[in-house]
């Protein structure tokens, strides 16, 4: 498993980002700490300096793992299930831009906040609306070899798709190779009775993974058992990135990013040592 760090531009409306500011500095520092990749939260890809980002990731030999889309919802209200058809259309078009941007880097596109809120509407009607939108986006994404990952978010932040099980059932209905699940330890700590068992149930559709501790601080600053979670991920065959998405705590962005890296890297290395020992016996 490799580690990546979520970074964003200065206009980000979401506070749960260890690095929120200059993208170039964020990428540089992520590489300096030891991260293998970065996940970039971008409100509007058309405003991003693609050539600069391409140059920086090439210079630092670091991978762009995923593209976050939530800023489009938090800053502009764009979402896929809004009652206003015009807003849904704008959200769809923005996600097409995100897919185009992601295709340049071989990155995934995250469907988190941008899916929208149900707001007391009928669950089946909202699901139908969402599935129709995602199916079209997935067809387009597949043409560009881009995967869409739907992220369950906790009930205090959104009222649609809060658990891994709910999201898994919807993804099964979609039945599209380009659509999977993004699991996040912070949200799972609130919504899942037992994180490890929930992960095993969705193993065939687990495409991406976010990590933050129980308090949304850096891993290692709360009470989540990351050793048990990483053991489960290894067991179910998840070999992709663990992407750190946490508050710049404790001690600011750089300290938080370093603590997260050291905590997770040490656990990963310990498992690798155990595996090598078992292979030699």
Quickly tell me which residue has 């990731």 as its tokens: 57
Count CA within 13 A, CB hemisphere, residue 129: 21
Out of 39, 151, 191, 192, the active site residue is 151
Q: Please confirm, yes or no, whether 197 is among the known catalytic residues.
A: no
- Residues contacting residue 200 through CB under 8 Å, at least 6 positions apart: 232, 235, 236
Candidates 191, 200, 245, 262; catalytic one: 245
Give the number of C-alpha atoms closer than 13 A to the C-alpha of residue 281, restricted to the C-beta side: 6
User: Cα–Cα–Cα angle for 14, 134, 147, nearest 5°?
Assistant: 75
CB distance 118 to 80 below 8 Å: no
Q: Reply yes or no on whether 151 is catalytic.
A: yes
Which residues have C-beta within 8 Å of that of residue 272, sequence separation ≥ 6?
Answer: none
Distance CA 16, CA 19 (A): 9
How far is it between the farthest Cα atoms of the chain?
63
Q: Which residues, 6 or more positions from 116, have their beta carbon under 8 angstroms from its beta carbon?
A: 73, 79, 80, 81, 82, 91, 130, 160
**Residue of 256, 277, 270, 258 lying closest to 228 (CA atoms):** 270
Q: Read off the tokens for 22.
A: 């200059």
Q: How far, in Å, CA of 161 to CA of 175, rounded? A: 17
For the annotated catalytic residues, the residue numbers are 151, 245
């Amino acid at each position: 498993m490799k580690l990546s760090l979520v970074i964003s531009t200065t206009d980000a409306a979401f506070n749960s980002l260890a690095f929120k500011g200059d993208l170039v500095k964020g990428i540089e520092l992520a590489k300096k700490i030891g991260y293998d990749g970065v996940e970039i939260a971008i409100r509007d890809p058309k405003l991003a300096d693609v050539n600069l980002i391409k140059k920086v990731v090439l210079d630092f030999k670091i991978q762009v793992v995923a593209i976050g889309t939530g800023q489009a919802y938090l800053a502009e209200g764009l979402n896929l299930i809004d009652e206003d058809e015009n807003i849904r259309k704008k959200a769809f078009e923005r996600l097409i831009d995100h897919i185009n941007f992601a295709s340049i880097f071989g990155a995934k596109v995250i469907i988190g906040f941008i899916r929208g809120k149900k707001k007391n509407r009928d669950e089946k009607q909202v699901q139908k609306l969402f599935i129709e939108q995602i199916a079209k986006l997935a067809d387009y994404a597949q043409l560009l070899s881009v995967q869409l990952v739907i992220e369950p978010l906790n009930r205090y932040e959104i009222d649609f798709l809060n658990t891994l099980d709910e999201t898994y059932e919807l993804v099964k209905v979609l039945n599209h190779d380009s659509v999977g699940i993004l699991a996040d330890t912070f949200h799972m700590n609130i919504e899942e009775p037992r994180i490890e068992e929930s992960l095993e149930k969705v193993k065939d559709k687990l495409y991406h993974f976010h990590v933050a501790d129980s308090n949304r601080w850096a891993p290692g600053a709360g009470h989540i058992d990351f050793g048990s979670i990483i053991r489960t991920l290894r067991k179910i065959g998840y070999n992709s990135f663990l992407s750190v998405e946490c508050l710049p705590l404790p001690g600011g962005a750089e300290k938080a990013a370093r603590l997260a890296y050291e905590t997770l890297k040490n656990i990963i290395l310990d498992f690798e040592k155990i595996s090598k020992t078992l292979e030699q016996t």
